[in-house]
Amino acid sequence: MPLFGNSFSPKKTPPRKWASLSNLHLLDRSTREVELGLEYGTPTMNLAGQSLKFENGHWVSDSGSFLGDRRELQRLRKRNQQLEEENNLLRLKVDILLDMLSETTAESHLMEKELEELKQHSQRKK
């Protein structure tokens, strides 16, 4: 028998019947859009004076200045292609240099091994 008794014994709370008292989850999508105004339209943003909107998974210029954008885009694509070609050439050069280094290292190890064998052979003759 405890000295002070078991005065703290919390009761379990009863489980809830519904997670929400709102009946909005019972409405279909079109009714919810009409009732709650869930139709927002296409997302738009303004960056550096250029207005863009999101359509079909891509950001599209909202303004009518497509010629400047196309020229800039074409110039950037050309520069990107040049950089990719340069990157590929540099990777090839690095691969060739690594092959040359590994070949030279292997030859150096073979020469060191032959030198050690010659030293041991010359010491045996003496």
Percentage of the chain modeled with pLDDT above 90: 37
94 pLDDT more than 90: yes
pLDDT for residue 6: 66
Asked whether the predicted pLDDT for residue 96 surpasses 90, the reply is yes
DSSP string, the chain: --SS-----PPPPPPPS-S-S--GGGS-HHHHHHHHT----S-EEEETTEEEEEETTEEEE-SS-HHHHHHHHHHHHHHHHHHHHHHHHHHHHHHHHHHHHHHHHHHHHHHHHHHHHHHHHHHHH-
- pLDDT on residue 54: 82
pLDDT score of 85 more than 60: yes
**Can you give the pTM of this predicted structure?**
0.43
Model pLDDT for residues 19-72, shown as the tens digit of each residue: 665 666 666 777 777 777 666 677 788 877 778 888 888 888 776 555 556 788
Q: What pLDDT is attached to residue 123? A: 87
pLDDT exceeds 90 at position 87: yes
Which pLDDT score is estimated for 3? 63
Instruction: Tell which wins on pLDDT, 103 or 41.
Output: 103
The model's confidence at residue 102, banded by pLDDT at 50, 70 and 90, is very high
